[in-house]
Amino acid sequence: MMLADALIVSAILFSIGVVGVLTRRNAIMLFMCVELMLNAVNLSFVTFAKLHGVSGHVFVILVMTIAAAEAAVGLAIVISVFRHFGAVDLPSLKLLRR
């Protein structure tokens, strides 16, 4: 029972993240939604670690590390984008177009 509940929470969290990524226009909000998705995945890892042993925990540590690095790099980009364009609004950043 415990397991199913945890997985449902994880799925809900992941879906919120996905919807956020699809609908939000602000780059910072996008980042936060991505973090949300990562953490939803982490939750499933931890849940399954109860069944399959310690490797799930190892993955969670790895994902958190990567997520931290990604956030650092991503935020740095966002800051320079903001400096360059004066906004972090995604639809306005369409230099490839025409």
Partner 1 sequence: MALLQTSPSHPLDGSIAEWVWLLPLLPLLGAVMNGIIAVRAGTFAATVADSDDHDHATPPAGRGLVSLIGPGVMLLAFALAVALFLAMRGAGDLAAPFIRSLGSWMPAGDLRIDWALQLDPLSMLMTLIITGVGFLIHVFSVGYMADDRGFARYFAYLNLFVAMMLVLVLGASYPVMFVGWEGVGLASYLLIGFWFRERANADAGRKAFIVNRIGDFGFLVAMFLVYAQTGALDYVQAHAGLAVAAPGVLTAIALFLFVGCTGKSAQIPLYVWLPDAMAGPTPVSALIHAATMVTAGVYLIARASAVFAGAPSVSLLVTVVGAVTALFAATIALRQWDIKKVLAYSTVSQLGYMFVGVGTGAYAAGVFHLVTHAFFKALLFLGAGAVIHAMHAAYHHAHDHTADAQDMRNMGGLGRYMPRTSALMWIATLAIAGVPPLAGFFSKDEILTSAFARAHNSPLAEASLLGVPGSAVLYGVYGLGLLTALLTAVYMTRLMLLTFTGANRTGATAASALHEAPALMGVPLAVLGVLTVVGGWLNLPSLIPIGPAHLLADWLAPVTGTATRVLAGDAHLSHTAEYALIGTAIATAGIGIAIAFARYRSPVPTKAEAPAEQGVASLLHEAYRVDAGLDRVVVRPLAWLSTSVLWRGIDRALESLFVQGSRAIARAAGAAHDWVGGGDVGRYAWAFTIGLLVMLAAFTVR
* φ, ψ at 26 (rounded to 5°): -85, 135
Closest distance to partner 1 from the beta carbon of 13 (Å):
16
**In the set 22, 52, 83, 84, which binds partner 1 (CB under 8 A)?**
22
Size of the site for partner 1 (CB under 8 A): 12
Closest distance to partner 1 from the beta carbon of 87 (Å):
14
Which residue, among 32, 35, 27, has the nearest Cα to 90 in the 3D structure?
Answer: 27
- Give the residue with the Cβ less far from partner 1, 86 or 91: 91
SS3 content of the chain, % helix, strand, coil (to 5): 85, 0, 15
84 near partner 1, judged by CB under 8 A:
no
Evaluate whether 15 touches 39 at the Cβ level (below 8 Å).
no
What residues make contact with partner 1 under the rule CB under 8 A?
Answer: 18, 21-22, 25, 90-91, 93-98
